[in-house]
């Protein structure tokens, strides 16, 4: 305990650039809690350290700088992989590398700098201070996940991605709820320096809470029956095409034939449906009946191929619109279903403030993509109802299905080839897998370079093909389980928790408002 107290005293007494550097370093270490490392215990080191550093601040600006630096370190090392996409065409996008490495983390960190100001105003001492930090961090997480199109990547709850039993609680409270409770639990040890019985009880209760989550989750995993959809046997095709070569015109036929070859490989059981990744074919399939027939000739007449494509339309004035789309082709080469991506990537698929920023997008290099109408359920003959999710549409909790037309499974097609062998594809897979637990729906995920796999509605990976491999995944399609509590209630339980904790220090709130006014 003396060494802990001396460390706490040392952090509180840091000032100036030393405090900012320490905050950055602890934030950087906290990124190790995220997939693929999943070292979640570091949360119980880094979050208390952030609170101790904030306790030593003497103004709102100092608090902002400390909170901002902590979050900046977390995002620099947690989202470094975004910069890898610039190296696909580094001659064109060299200037964007520092923006990806530091610019986006700097913007995201603003939410947490503001949260630090509010937490300091509420008071960071004792048990109430730990809760104040956790609640304001949660608000920053929520804002980052919803404002300006939102980017809820690496929420703290994903630190449990390697602990499937604990992750089962997202079927009740969702990833935001798990994130809130995790930050509270990790922050509580700062109150132990007061040596109060209440603080010791709170810390013990938080440990018991997560132990209970693990026990209940293990029970759920053991007792929930998951069966396969009758008469459905699917194949996922992972071509592993180098992103630098994917759109080279002289090589696109070779890539197309690789898809055909993988699709036509023999299987143990008759394949009923085939899945290709996002923009698998670089041909405009909706305009190319010959290529559609080539695909159809590869599969049984009663089967279908569901694939990602780029689609374009022209209006009466000749203006062309592009869509990042998914289409289903039957055994005759007919287009039988389609979906246009609704949640587009800013700067990647469209350029915000296009009139004022005449620069190309990362993906299209010329024109922006247009957005589709949003979540919907698609019907393809012989295949259970499914909700299509293109690329990072799978990262948005509570926004992955049409709740008025509940599907039987989630289909996530993606092209993580932009990010090479970095942490990005592993994080993307872990995030998408969490949606299965929240919704009680299985996941079929097919990626250009991986990770492709079939995940049951409890988040268990039944079949998978790892990152950087070319091949196929054949398997049965799991059936859904009944709608989860989260699926019915969404974020309501999380906000109930939030306001219950908020009400636990109403006196601090009164002081906060009296200082403000």
Mean pLDDT of 290-312: 94
**How far is residue 187 from each of residues 48, 135, 267, measured CA to CA in Å?**
5, 10, 52
Residue 155 pLDDT level (bands cut at 50, 70, 90): very high
- The residues pairing with 452 across neighbouring beta strands, listed in sequence order, are 465
**pLDDT above 80: residue 6:** no
> Is pLDDT at 361 greater than 70 in this prediction?
no
Q: Which residues pair with 338 in a beta bridge?
A: 327
Residues near 381 by beta carbon (within 8 Å), at least 6 away in sequence: 302, 304, 330, 336
pLDDT value at residue 359: 60
How do strand 273-275 and strand 304-314 relate by DSSP bridges? parallel
The closest of 48, 43, 99, 117 to 74, measured between CA atoms, is 43
Pairing of strands 383-390, 409-414: parallel
Cβ 423 vs Cβ 35: under 8 Å: yes
Look at 280-294, 346-360, 367-381, 490-504 and tell me which has the smallest mean pLDDT: 346-360
Other CB atoms within 10 A of residue 463 CB: 15
Percent residues over pLDDT 70 in the chain: 94
Q: Please give the DSSP secondary-structure letter assigned to residue 484.
A: P
At 383, phi and psi to the nearest 5?
-115, 135
CA proximity to 179, closest of 150, 230, 144, 141: 141
Start-to-end CA span in the chain (Å): 40
Q: Which residue has the higher pLDDT, 263 or 418?
A: 263
What is the distance between the alpha carbons of residues 510 and 516, in angstroms, rounded to a whole number?
A: 10
Q: What is the pLDDT at residue 194?
A: 72
Strands 273-275, 443-447: pairing is: unpaired
How far is it, in rounded angstroms, from Cα 495 to Cα 135?
Answer: 11
Q: Are 457 and 441 in contact (CB under 8 A)?
A: yes
Count CB-CB contacts under 10 A for residue 193.
17
> What's the CA gap between 144 and 142, in Å, rounded?
5
Mean pLDDT of 13-27: 96
Structure tokens at 52: 């101790």
Residue 49 near residue 9 (C-beta atoms within 8 A): no
pLDDT band at 502 (very low <50, low <70, confident <90, very high): confident
Which tokens is 501 given?
A: 């904790």
**What are the pLDDT digits (tens) for 30-70?**
999 999 999 999 999 999 999 999 999 999 999 999 999 99
Cβ contacts of 246 within 8 Å, gap of 6 or more: 255, 279, 282, 417, 448
Mean pLDDT for all residues in the chain: 91
Question: Which of the residue ranges 84-93, 150-159, 195-204 has the most confident prediction, judged by mean pLDDT?
Answer: 150-159
Query: Where do the structural domains in the chain lie, given as residue ranges?
Result: 2-223+490-516, 228-480
Whether 264 shows a pLDDT value over 90: the answer reads yes
CA 164 to chain CA centroid, Å, is 16
The least confident of 44-58, 184-198, 421-435, 500-514 is 500-514
pLDDT at 314: 86
pTM over 0.75: yes
Locate all alpha helices (DSSP H) within 309-379, ordered by sequence.
none
For residue 270, count other CB atoms closer than 10 A to its CB. 10
The 10s digit of each residue's pLDDT in 436-479 is 999 999 999 999 998 999 999 999 999 999 999 999 999 999 99
pLDDT at 4: 57
| Residues annotated as part of the active site | 278, 341, 391
Under CATH, domain 228-480 is a member of which superfamily?
A: Carbon-nitrogen hydrolase (3.60.110.10)
Cα 496 versus chain centre, distance? 24
């Amino acid at each position: 305990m003396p060494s802990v107290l001396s460390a706490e005293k040392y952090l509180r007494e840091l000032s100036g650039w030393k405090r900012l550097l320490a905050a950055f370093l602890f934030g950087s270490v906290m990124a190790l809690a995220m997939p693929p490392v999943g070292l979640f215990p570091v949360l119980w080191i880094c979050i208390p350290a952030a609170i101790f550093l904030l306790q030593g601040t003497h103004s709102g600006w100092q608090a902002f700088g400390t909170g901002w630096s902590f979050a900046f370190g977390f995002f620099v090392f947690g989202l470094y992989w975004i910069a890898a996409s610039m190296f696909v065409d580094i001659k064109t996008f060299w200037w964007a590398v520092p923006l990806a490495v530091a610019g986006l983390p700097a913007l995201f960190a603003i939410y947490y700098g503001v949260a630090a100001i509010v937490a300091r105003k509420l008071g960071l001492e004792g048990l109430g201070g730990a809760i104040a930090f956790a609640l304001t961090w949660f608000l920053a997480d929520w804002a980052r996940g919803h404002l300006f199109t939102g980017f809820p990547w690496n929420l703290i709850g994903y630190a449990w991605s390697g602990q499937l039993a604990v992750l089962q609680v997202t079927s009740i409270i969702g990833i935001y709820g798990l994130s809130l409770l995790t930050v509270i639990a990790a922050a509580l040890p700062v109150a132990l320096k007061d040596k109060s019985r209440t603080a010791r009880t709170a810390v013990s209760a938080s440990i018991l809470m997560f132990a209970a989550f693990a026990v209940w989750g293990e029970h759920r995993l053991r007792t929930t029956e998951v069966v396969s959809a009758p008469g459905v046997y699917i194949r996922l095709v992972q071509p592993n095409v180098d992103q630098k070569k994917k759109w080279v015109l002289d090589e696109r036929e070779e890539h197309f034939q690789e898809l055909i070859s993988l699709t036509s490989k023999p299987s143990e059981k008759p394949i009923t449906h085939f899945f290709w990744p996002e923009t698998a074919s670089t041909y405009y399939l909706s305009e190319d009946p010959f290529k559609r027939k080539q695909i159809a000739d590869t599969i049984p007449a009663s089967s279908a191929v569901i694939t990602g494509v780029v689609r374009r339309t022209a209006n009466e004035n000749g203006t062309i619109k592009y869509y990042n789309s998914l289409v289903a082709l039957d055994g005759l080469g007919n287009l039988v279903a389609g979906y246009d991506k609704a949640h587009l990537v800013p700067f990647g698929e469209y350029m915000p403030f296009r009139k004022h920023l005449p620069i190309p997008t990362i993906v299209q290099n010329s024109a922006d993509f247009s957005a589709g109408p949003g979540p919907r359920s698609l019907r393809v003959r012989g295949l259970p109802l499914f909700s299509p999710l293109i690329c990072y549409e799978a990262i948005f909790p509570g926004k992955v299905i049409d709740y008025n037309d509940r599907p039987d499974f989630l289909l996530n097609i993606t092209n993580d080839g932009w990010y090479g062998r970095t942490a990005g594809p592993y994080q993307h897979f872990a995030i998408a897998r969490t949606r299965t637990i929240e919704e009680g729906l299985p996941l079929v995920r097919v990626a250009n370079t991986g990770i492709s796999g079939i995940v049951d509605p409890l988040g268990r990976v039944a079949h998978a093909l790892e990152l950087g491999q070319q091949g196929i995944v054949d398997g049965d399609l799991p059936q859904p389980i009944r709608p989860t509590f989260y699926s019915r209630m969404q974020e309501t339980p999380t906000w109930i928790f939030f306001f219950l904790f908020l009400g636990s220090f109403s006196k601090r709130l009164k002081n906060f408002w009296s200082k403000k006014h």
